[in-house]
Structure 1
Amino acid sequence: MIIVTGANGHLGRAIMERLLQRVPAARLGVSVRDPEQASALAERGVRVRRGAFDDAASLRHAFDGASHVLIVSINSTGEAAVRQHEAALEAARAAGARRVLYTSHMGSNPASRFEPMRDHAATEASLQRSGVAFTSLRNGFYAASALMLLERALETGKLVAPEDGPVSWTEHADLADAAVIALTDEARLDGVTPPLTASAALDLGDIAAIASELVGRSITRVTVSDRAFREDMVSHGVPEQRADLFLGMFAASREREFAAVDPTLERLLGRAPMSMRHYLTARLSR
């Protein structure tokens, strides 16, 4: 049985939809914090069980009978995040899973300026020590994050942010397809993968230029200091800790931590991944 965690989230839902096209529902299960939110999957024959990363007993129950477990990384940071990923890994091993898959990040690096990348690196180290066959999917930076950065700019005409660097923005749907290939064809991806990215790395100036063309009006890229950007975020109610985390993303991009472009995703998919221009065209035309 293939078990997927976080199936109520954006990436987890996309992975399950694709798995259901390739694998009988009776061979699929999900581990979710709120089973009621996954009732549509249960109605289609998927086994739905409660599994919380901070509740080891619930994970053992959710993973029972698993041959493969896909651990979708949690939306948290720091030691607590790594500890919960390790709890899921241990539960998968205890359940007898022969392979564990983990949604990591192209920027995974113990010395990264962006804290989540350090967490991914620590989790990958735990996978390597576990003795269980594993695949760590080093996903490209989600294209949806660029759209989030554009939201205010679409209203004001100014994309205001600290100095940044090129990022290999990659669409959720393409990464979901890659995860399904990894779950159903073990020979394709083993161990830590190369960066699973689209075919170009773009900075925010590039994003602003594309958006300007698509909406038919000028969106200017405005660079501000880290300090000014942080003060603005805090003045709009962003907690200081989250503001500092966000600044780490810009610091890491300036050091080109997210700039790699690799052909692995295209080879897996058998087609070109969605470009950022195509992604923004679809989103900004709504």
Structure 2
Amino acid sequence: MIIVTGASGQLGRAVVERLLAREPAEQIGVSVRNVEKAQELKERGVRVRRGDFEDPASLDYAFEGASKVLIVSSNTFGETTIRQHRTAIDSARRAGVSRIFYTSHMGSSPTSLFQAMVDHAATEAALRDTGVTFTSLRNGFYAASALMMLGNALETGELLAPEDGPVSWTAHADLAEAAALALSEEALDGVTPPLTASEALDLADIAAIAAELTQRPMRRVVVPDTEYRAGLVAHGFPEEGADMYMGIFRASRRGEFSRVDPTLARLIGRAPKSMRDILKEMTSPAR
């Protein structure tokens, strides 16, 4: 049985949907904190069990009978994330799985300027230490994050953000398809190459594409780090969260997310969605 954690989230649910197109429903299970959010999957024959990274016993139950487990990374950061991931890895090992899959990131590094990348590197180290065969899916930076940074720029005509650098923005749908292929066919082993779209764009590039598609002017305005951080806090970000978020810009300026690689295209058998494709869908009058 293939078990997917976090199946009520955007990536985890997308992975399950693609697995259902490849595997019988009775061979798929999900581990979710709130089973009510996965009721529709249960009705389709997927095994739904409660599993919480903060509750090892619940994970032991959720992973029971698993041959493979996909650990979708936690949405926390720092020591909490590393502890939660180790808990999930240990539960998968106790379940006797043949392979652990993990949704890592292309920028995974213990020296990254973005805390989440340090957490991914620590999780990959834990996977190596556990002795179980594993696949660490080094996903490209989610394109959804770029859309969040775009904010209300489509209305204001100004994309305000700190200085940034090129990023290999990649669609959730393509990464979910790759994960499903990896789970069903074991097409990837160990730490993967970066699973990215075919180009790296900075926010100025995104503003230019958005302006072209909407036929409205859009300026890329660079905001000082301190000013942008203060704005985040003023809008409700906790201090620690604001510091973590600013790491995205510092890391991208250093080129941590700029690499592109053909592995994702090869795996899914087509060109991954480009940022232009994603923005076109977002700005389509039919939406």
Q: Displacement, 1:4?
A: 0.3
Distance in 1, Cα, partners of 2:247 & 2:152: 20
Q: Which residue of 2 aligns with 1:248?
A: 247
Partner-residue secondary structure (3-state), 2:151: helix
TM-score w.r.t. the length of structure 2 is: 0.98
Q: Which residue of 2 aligns with 1:238?
A: 237
Distance in 2, Cα, partners of 1:36 & 1:236: 31
Counterpart of 1:124, as a letter, is E
Partner-residue secondary structure (3-state), 1:256: coil
Q: 1:189-228 CA distances to partner (integer Å, 9 max, x unpaired)?
A: 0000000000000000000000111112111000121111
Distance in 1, Cα, partners of 2:254 & 2:33: 36
Q: Displacement, 1:20?
A: 0.5
Distance in 1, Cα, partners of 2:56 & 2:182: 26
Q: Displacement, 1:155?
A: 2.3
Q: Which residue of 2 aligns with 1:20?
A: 20
Alignment of 1:33-44 (within 5 A): 33-44=33-44
Q: Which residue of 2 aligns with 1:105?
A: 105
Q: Which residue of 1 aligns with 2:3?
A: 3
- 2:128 is equivalent to residue 143 of structure 1: no
Q: Which residue of 2 aligns with 1:275?
A: 274
Q: Displacement, 1:178?
A: 0.4
Alignment of 1:59-70 (within 5 A): 59-70=59-70
Q: Displacement, 1:101?
A: 0.1
Q: What's the RMSD between the two structures over aligned residues?
A: 0.7
Q: Which residue of 2 aligns with 1:76?
A: 76
Counterpart of 2:7, as a letter, is A
Distance in 1, Cα, partners of 2:231 & 2:95: 48
Partner-residue secondary structure (3-state), 1:89: helix
Counterpart of 1:23, as a letter, is E
Q: Which residue of 1 aligns with 2:200?
A: 201
Partner-residue secondary structure (3-state), 2:198: coil
Distance in 2, Cα, partners of 1:119 & 1:243: 17
Q: Displacement, 1:142?
A: 0.3
Q: Displacement, 1:239?
A: 1.9
Q: 1:228-285 CA distances to partner (integer Å, 9 max, x unpaired)?
A: 1112222222222221111110000000000000000011011100010001100121
Q: Mean Cα displacement is larger for which, 231-240 or 140-149?
A: 231-240
Distance in 1, Cα, partners of 2:235 & 2:20: 42
Q: 1:139-169 CA distances to partner (integer Å, 9 max, x unpaired)?
A: 0000011111112212221111111000000
Distance in 1, Cα, partners of 2:133 & 2:283: 41
Distance in 2, Cα, partners of 1:183 & 1:282: 29
Aligned identity (percent) is: 65
Which ranges of structure 1 fall in alignment gaps of 5 or more residues? none
Distance in 2, Cα, partners of 1:236 & 1:71: 32
Instruction: Give the paired residue count.
Output: 285
Which ranges of structure 2 fall in alignment gaps of 5 or more residues? none
Partner-residue secondary structure (3-state), 1:232: helix
Alignment of 1:110-259 (within 5 A): 110-186=110-186, 188-259=187-258
Q: Which residue of 1 aligns with 2:87?
A: 87
Q: Following superposition, which runs of at least 4 residues in structure 1 exceed 4 angstroms of deviation?
A: none
Distance in 2, Cα, partners of 1:112 & 1:222: 25
Q: Displacement, 1:60?
A: 0.1
